[in-house]
Amino acid sequence: MRRGLLPIVGRQVTDAQKLPCPRKPIRIAPRIDHFRRRVVGQTIEAVDRVGKRVAVVLSSGERMVIEPRMTGLVLLADPPDPLYLRMRLDLSGGKPGAFYYWDRRGLGSVRLFSNQQFEAEFGPPKLGPDALVITADDYRSRLGRSKRAIKVALLDQSVVAGIGNLYAAELLHVAAIHPAKRCDRLTRAQWQRLSEAATTVLEEAIHYEGSTLGDGTYRNALNQNGSYQNMHRVYGRAGEPCPRCGMAIVRIVQAQRSTFFCRQCQPSGRTTARRMNFTNHD
DNA sequence: CCCCAGTCCTGCGGGC
DNA sequence: TGCCCGCAGGACTGGG
């Protein structure tokens, strides 16, 4: 999303409109009239990412933070369905002439922050280190004494910023760690594999422009599908063969969220021991 | 500190 | 075929 917005860097905002939606509108803060007063005339200095959010840096120093949640899209092209357009910023000086925020489910938000507010909202301790920056030692010092399941802990943005449900499942498969493994039972080698797997999976996903799932929600700023869904090792693949060993992928529920993994490639310590004992007696 | 259920929304696919 | 249900890449809240 951030990369897709780079063409608006250097452009000036000439207007901001909250677009009428049939149901409850998304959260735009502050109120649109105040919002407009603070963004119109501003030049876009940079487009940054903060965990799962996109931060558009204005010449005033304020940041417009877009939090897309499940179905939010940032667009410089025509939307997939004009019905769910939520906000438009008009831009001076050529194409693209506008930036759109589109959101089918409407769970996302667009909010404006001063420097101080931004730090309070997105600095530590609210947000952990970014998933592309955090080291194995960071993981271990933050989670090494936690009894939580590793998959659940990875979704906690105050531990590590930027990992969602899909990518947690994928990276644990690459790291060969059982998603229900207690954090305090992970070895140094496993924390190392986990941090490397996170980088591998996230960089791959960025390269393939994300995952456009069956409900067709995620698209890039030009309204094109991503293709990382074709590369998924486990996510959404219950019953299909594991790409590494061929055993059927299973789905479990953790913290009310689906988790997909391979029992063969991601063994829990306990079943491994039992299997080894069993083999010994054989 | 951590778990759990519920909440905000819409749309889709599976099962009957 | 139509209808109902569960489910969805997130984050927050309140209660235990």
> Which pLDDT tens digit goes with each residue over A125-174?
899 999 999 999 999 999 999 999 999 999 999 999 999 999 999 999 99
Question: For domain A3-122, is the CATH number 3.40.50.300?
Answer: no
Flag residues 52-91 of A with CB < 7 Å from strand B: 83
The more confidently predicted of residues A278 and A229 is: A229
- Predicted pLDDT at A216: 56
- Predicted pLDDT at A215: 65
Work out the pLDDT band at A270, boundaries 50, 70, 90: low
A165 CB contact with strand C at below 7 Å: yes
A147 CB contact with strand B at below 7 Å: yes
Separation in Å, CA A158 to CA A82, A120, A189: 35, 13, 23
Q: Render pLDDT for A56-91 as a digit per residue (tens, 0 to 9).
A: 999 999 999 999 998 899 999 988 888 889 999 999
Separation in Å, CA A118 to CA A114, A124, A196, A223: 6, 11, 29, 29
Question: Please, what's the b/e burial string for A136-153 (b: 16 or more CB within 10 A of its CB; e: otherwise)?
Answer: bebbbebbeebebbbbbb
Flag residues 211-270 of A with CB < 7 Å from strand C: 211-213, 215, 217-218, 226, 229, 257-258
> Are A44 and A10 spatial neighbours (Cβ–Cβ below 8 Å)?
yes
Please state the pTM of the whole predicted model. 0.93
**Coil/strand/helix, residue A106:** coil
Query: Counting beta carbons within 10 angstroms of the beta carbon of residue A221, is it exposed (0 to 12), middle (13 to 18) or buried (19 or more)?
Result: buried
Helix pair angle (A136-143, A188-207), 10° resolution: 120
**Coil/strand/helix, residue A2:** coil
Question: For domain A136-232, is the CATH number 1.10.8.50?
Answer: yes
Q: What ranges do the domains of chain A cover?
A: 3-122, 136-232
Strand B: which nucleotides have any atom within 7 A of a protein Cβ? 1-6, 8-13
Closest protein CA to C1' of nucleotide B2, residue: A148
